[in-house]
Structure 1
Amino acid sequence: MTSTRRPWWPSRADAFWMFAGALVFTGLNVLYHLVGDRTTGALGPGAGLVLQVVCDLSLVLLFRFPVLVTGLVTAAAFAMLASDLFAPGLLVPVQPIAMTTVPTVTPVMLAQVLRVLDRRTVLWLTAVLALIATRPWEPNWSITPFGLLSTVLPVAISFYAEARKQLLQSLRDRAERAEREQHLLAEQARAEERRRLAGEMHDVVTHRLSLMVLHAGALGVTSGDPAVRTAAEDIRREGALALDELRDLVGVLRNGTDTGPRTLRPEEPGDPARLVEESRSVGVPTELVVDGDPAAVSPTVARTAYRLVQEALTNVRKHAPGASATVALRYHQGGLDVSVASTAAARPPDPALAGTGSGAGLAGLRQRVELVGGRFDAGPAPGGGFRVGAILPAYVPTAEGTHCDPGARGR
């Protein structure tokens, strides 16, 4: 088994502060050595300085070797205590400037050690160093308070900072969980609303369309006028198509529930020429201009163009009675340019017809065009008419496009 090695420092900022702390405390101990008393034991006048500097410089290794560094500082504290009790002046000056009786770097080490050691070890380490620093067997106002400040206080601050960090993280997690739950509740509410709308559409709209189809069929059978029979058949056929599309729409509203075999295969692209013929059949003079090969674009793009022409011609019938329209489709190597332009209305629109729909037809077209990577444009045309157009790419790399479009392969 391979053991996980600790990093030298968790971050560059930690490395900077560890080196800075080590240098600051080294300089501080050198200053104490120069201006204060020195050790007078057998190890020489620099023994105390060497011990302090070794502890100071070991601070840079705390994150990589925490046990080694804490053990070194603790051993140094015991050595200083033994020197003070049994050999005064050996490792600690008889009259030291610093009021602490443990290595001067101890507060910094204890403040950081919680990040690399478990809580129980930190508490035991703090207790041992606090015992050495405060010397409860000989209480002294010049030793005990400084001993607590250099041992217990840094650890208490570290524990507080860690607890606060965990609390903030817990609050963030709770807020994120509440936000996710709120999102799920909103999704459930939308799903319920979709199911309710699907039920309403199925119960109300389907019923009315079915009656219309039945009445048109009966009219076509009973009428003796060929023109009436033809019109009745057109109404019956369009009503049946509307029922078929409504069935698919209800399935989508019901979270994609399968409503029949037709929903299991991709929708085939419609023919814009049929839309032009339908527009002409209801009295709207409509011209179709096609340039290029329709096979040059993928089915996804062809369906987008079909829906654009369908919505634009529907708007002409609703809002511009008496106007004429021109549908232009230009197929080229880069894609397809679609344009539906109408002249100005000859008379005011029928309020009942113009008031139907959601009012979001053009916004829906823009979204549909942008989804395939195209550019959409709509606005008034010179002479008082209106123009709807789009520049569509030749191929959208979808799974459907690669399976359905022979011309898409190899692009």
Structure 2
Amino acid sequence: MTTTGAIAEAGARGAPVGPWWWVRRRSLVLDAVLAVVSALECALEGVSFAQEAGLPGVLGGLVGLPAGTTLLLRRRWPVAVVLVSIAILPAEMGVLLGIVSMYTLAASEVPRRIIAVLAGASLVGTLIVTFARFHKDMAQDGYRPGFWLTWVFSLVMALGLTAPPVLLGLYVGARRRLVESLRERADGLERELSLLADRAEERAVWARNEERTRIAREMHDVVAHRVSLMVVHAAALQAVALKDPEKASRNAALVGDMGRQALTELREMLGVLRSGSDAGVRPPGAVESERLAAVATAASARVRVAAGAAGAGGGGVVDAGDGGPCLDGLGDLVGQSRDAGMAVELSVMGEERAYAPEVEQTAYRVVQEALTNVHKHAPGAKALVRLAHREAEVALQVENGPSDAGADAGPGLPSGGNGLVGMRERVAALGGVFVSGPTDAGGFRVSAVIPDTGVR
């Protein structure tokens, strides 16, 4: 059988489970009191009915006691209790049983059509029993009321015993379901807010990690290239210091310029990171993700500005308009590698035009890192830089031949193994394609195709 709405509501609220089907002990006490009162009423009425019918009074009491006690089951089996109350109507027993059982049935989760059928059956049964009893009592007193008066009185009595408990039960049940629905909605909103908070925390963690990666990549790109060239020039300076003092002087000047640029860039980056760290200090567990994201974004922007400023001051890096290098600076970048002793050519195809700042900066960094790798891993090798301007994209390729066996291996530049990874991440972030690998001639090739984002 279907449980009542009170049981469902209490279960949804997490109320402590009482004995059997009662969710609270006070509900058990209430039903027990009602059952005792109903059992006494049914027993007394059963004795009276049995005596009027010429039967032993004890028989009526034995029937009334268990019938009235069924109120204990009203929360678990409301339909069965109503059927019992209807069944004992002809014996003129169970007024309290009928009222309480009809209220419980109307307030329960039983389908409305079943409630209507049982309420109608109880109404008709009460009407017939009331009519017969009223007619019999009036006949014993020698009074014979009219037919319609008897029916009106019986109808009023039947409606008075049936309609109020049914209407009250329907109201209480509807109110209970409304409260339960509102509670479920509130619980759902709370769970949704908790989920959104978890997702926001995950996004904040992801954003912090992403910004750290971006800062590390910027530092690698703008510093490692200059430091690599410094090491190459220092090695060349050592080799020609005694043989060609003029060339040694030029190399020393280049090393000094690049050292100053590298120091400037490092100071800018460390200053950004230090100020971001001071601004974002919070007790453990109270770090504001928005502040960290803003600091990381500012750090990235200042790193780009530093790189552009240093290049304009002596390294030939041309600003793209947002603080970063652009494709117009490739000539100076290639010239720096030539000054370091590399045989490198630059080939430009297509009509030159401006691209989005992030596209030009990414293309510049790819060429810069590729030339740095040539200095590190292929000393004495010839390199070719190709740049192609296309309708909706820019394509570039840096290819070097095998290392010159007779060339000096140089100072043995260290490698962190992150150059190709950084290039691939940069190109992929803009939706481009990056390919790298050895060539058949024994050299190495780096190729990238970057779509124009259309942002100026």
TM-score by length of 2: 0.45
Q: Is the helix fraction higher in 1 or 2? A: 2
Answer with 1 or 2: which has the greater Rg: 2
